[in-house]
Amino acid sequence: MERHAPVYMLLHSSSADTIGHTFGGESKEYRRQIWRIDNALARAIPIWRKLGYDVIVTADHGMTEDGWHGGTTSIATNVPLYLFSNALAPEEEQVHSQLGIAASILALTGIAPSNGMGDALLIP
Ligand SMILES: [Zn+2]
């Protein structure tokens, strides 16, 4: 990010998904991988923020203890959303649709979301 200064970057760590499928979402291996990702983000996010970036940390799904994430169960569909931003501020402890994430990214980059994308989580 320091070298190329992208307007937008998506960092997708598929390691948690792979470990979750292999060992299950309640395994020590899965917890250890989540800790590794958390640790890396704890070091990177302050640097990215200092460079002026808004940071959104979330997941596209959870993981069951059996190593699965299909379906509509709460563990598969309810994921955390962390925002490190001066422009984005949904209410804490509020449940939001993931559709709002795309709309928020577009709003941050100055592109108007199309109809039906959901509401951006911007500070009014
Ligand atoms: Zn998967």
Give the tens place of pLDDT for each residue, 58-95: 998 999 999 999 889 999 889 988 889 888 776 777 88
User: What's the total number of domains in the chain?
Assistant: 2
- 72 with 121, same domain: the answer is no
Whether 27 and 72 share a structural domain: yes
CA of 83 to the centre of ligand 1 (A): 24
Rg of the Cα atoms in the chain: 16
Q: Domain range spanning residue 59?
A: 1-84
**Residue 86 alpha carbon to ligand 1 centre in Å:** 32
Query: How long, in residues, is the chain?
Result: 124
What is the CA(99)–ligand 1 centre distance, in A? 20
- Most confident range (mean pLDDT) of 4-8, 31-35, 80-84, 98-102 is 31-35
Statement to judge: residues 66 and 110 lie in one domain: no
Same domain for 55 and 106: no
Check whether residue 8 and residue 68 sit in a common domain. Answer: yes
Task: Please give the distance, rounded to the nearest whole angstrom, from the Cα atom of residue 14 to the centre of ligand 1.
Answer: 8
- Between 17-26, 58-67, 104-113, the lowest mean confidence (pLDDT) is in 104-113
Asked if residue 113 and residue 66 are part of one domain, the reply reads: no
pTM for this predicted structure: 0.84
* 37 and 78, same domain (yes or no): yes
Task: Quote the ligand 1 centre to 17 CA distance (angstroms).
Answer: 5
Chain centroid to CA 42: how far? 14
Q: What are the CA-CA distances from residue 70 to residues 3, 11, 16, 66, 120 (Å)?
A: 38, 22, 15, 11, 26
